[in-house]
Amino acid sequence: MNIRVLTIFPTFFSSCLGEGLLGKAADKGLVNVAAVNLRDYATGRHRPVDDVPYGGGAGMVMKVDVWAKAIEAARRELPGARVVLLTPQGPKLDEQTALRLARETSLVFCCGRYEGVDERVAEHLVDEWLSIGDFVLTGGEPAALAAIDAIARKLPGVIGKAESVETDTFTAGLKHPAYTRPPEFRGWRVPEVLLGGNHAAIEDWRRRESLARTARLRPDLAAGAAASRVRLAVRDPEPWLLEPLAAAGRAYGLREVVCAVVDPDRRRALRETAGDLVKVTGPLDAALRKRPKERLFHLADRPGPGQAPLAEIAARLAAATDGATIVWGGEPPRKAVSAAPALPGEAASPLALFVWLERLFSGR
């Protein structure tokens, strides 16, 4: 991957990017990061990159013409590059964003300063905005460095073991506790299961500890971490719904999407168009009887008393170590926890289902 950083402080990046795994990745040719001095594209004796804001006010604003020259030069050097503006007003960087940007062949990061960049840069010259959190820095350089580190570790070969990336915190919930020698220190012992050599028991302990820690410390991530153990079951869906259901299943990492169809002819027709993730079965009750240990949830198609809010559903999913099935449509199965709909005004619509899934598994 080729990365260019447009900045007025190019030396900011040299020491950090030359050390550790990023330095080794650069030596291997896996990632090539170069910081470009924005002042090289300014004119005049002092090569100014900022000016007073129209309408008055405190601070200075970075000039659109300078940015235009720098960004266009970067696009010529790296055809097809995605240009990212670091700004606290952008969407927050998370693991999914890092994975998405790691699929690009080239990236250009734009580091603002002062009171920010001329709005025309943000509107017309970049492809997206990106923030690393709800706080303000003195400039975009630290944010760019954090983004580069998060993205680069997703590239094949940068991290020695792919398993380290696959089990990262946020990729599979919060990471489980880790210990090393000595086995006891000041009376604080390493859990016995880690010392016994039973790898199946160790993996089970780590999975359960990861889920428990996620539910306790970051309940907003709990449901997303549990998604790989969740089936979505939909009763008698219309044929056009199969593709959106499959897309939702892939997006959230669900274990399976089950379409329960009573009529045999409709069932055969749907099986011909269903993809790998979507499983077309007979009546739902029969499918549920095969999984007696799984927890059951039902997304109500109308608001009503006793329905669990989203936060409670997320916590229960995180605790469902033997798996769970979320049912949409029709009456709730026996022993199912009823979940309040996301859009009470049109709770029975497919839109309500997809909004609810997004809020549940994305923590939004």
Same domain, 133 and 29: yes
139 and 236 part of one domain:
no
Identify whether 298 is part of a domain.
yes
- The confidence score (pLDDT) of residue 162 equals 61
For 16, the enclosing helix (H) or strand (E) is: helix 14-17
144 shares its domain with 247? no
Domain C-terminal end among 152, 184, 212: 152
Count of CA atoms in the C-beta half-sphere (13 A) of 137: 18
Long-range contacts made by residues 264-270, C-beta under 8 angstroms, separation at least 24?
A: 266/236, 269/239, 270/237, 270/239, 270/242
Within this chain, do residues 148 and 244 fall inside the same structural domain, yes or no? no
Q: Which of 95, 115, 209, 236 is catalytic?
A: 115
Q: Which of 333, 362, 328 is nearest to 348 (CA)?
A: 328
pLDDT in tens, 300-346: 888 989 999 988 888 888 778 788 999 998 888 988 999 999 888 88
Instruction: Evaluate if residue 364 carries a pLDDT over 60.
Output: no
Q: 196 in a domain, yes or no?
A: no
Asked if residue 164 has pLDDT above 60, the reply is no
Verify whether residue 128 is a known catalytic residue.
no
Same domain, 148 and 51: yes
Per-residue pLDDT, averaged over 68-87, amounts to 98
pLDDT confidence of residue 101? 96
- Residue among 333, 339, 288 at smallest CA distance from 315: 339
Q: Is 153 among the catalytic positions? A: yes
Residue 182 lies in a domain: no
- Report angle CA 312, 218, 229 to the nearest 5 degrees: 65
Query: What crossing angle do the helices spanning 219-226 and 350-362 adopt, rounded to 10°?
Result: 110
In terms of domains, do 140 and 263 share one? no
Say whether both 142 and 274 belong to one domain: no
Give residue-wise pLDDT tens across range 232-273. Answer: 999 999 999 999 999 899 888 898 999 999 999 999 999 998
Q: Which of the residue ranges 180-194, 203-217, 284-298 would you say has the lowest mean pLDDT?
A: 203-217
**Domain coverage including residue 278:** 225-362
Mean pLDDT check: name the lowest of 83-87, 106-110, 163-167. Answer: 163-167
Q: State how many domains the chain has.
A: 2
Average pLDDT, the chain: 90
Annotated catalytic residue within 82, 168, 229, 237: 168
What's the pLDDT at 167?
A: 56
If asked whether residues 148 and 281 sit together in one domain, one would say: no
Boundary (domain end) residue, out of 120, 152, 184: 152
Do 25 and 108 belong to one domain?
yes
DSSP code per residue over 40-60: GG--STT---EEPPTT--SS-
Q: Does 49 fall in a domain?
A: yes
Judge whether 327 lies within some domain.
yes
Both 135 and 230 in one domain: the answer is no
pLDDT at 163: 57
For 69-91, b/e burial (b = at least 16 CB within 10 A) is bbbebbbeebeebbbbbbbbebe
Last residue of a domain, one of 152, 169, 201: 152
Question: At CB < 8 A and 24+ separation, what contacts does 25-29 make?
Answer: 25/152, 25/155, 25/157, 25/158, 28/157
On whether residue 21 sits in a domain, the answer given is yes
Residue 282 lies in a domain: yes
Indicate if 88 belongs to the active site. yes
Q: Do residues 10 and 146 both lie within one domain?
A: yes
Contact status, residue 143 vs residue 40, Cβ threshold 8 Å: no
Q: Give CA–CA dist 106/211, Å, rounded.
A: 35
274 and 136, same domain (yes or no): no
Whether 284 maps to a domain, the answer reads yes
Bridge partners of 82?
107
Residue 123 annotated in active site? no
Give the DSSP letter of residue 229: G
Q: From CA 245, how far away is CA 305, in angstroms rounded?
A: 28
Q: Quick check: pTM over 0.85?
A: no
Marked catalytic residue, from 4, 82, 113, 153:
153
Q: What is the CATH number of the domain that holds 287?
A: 3.40.1280.10
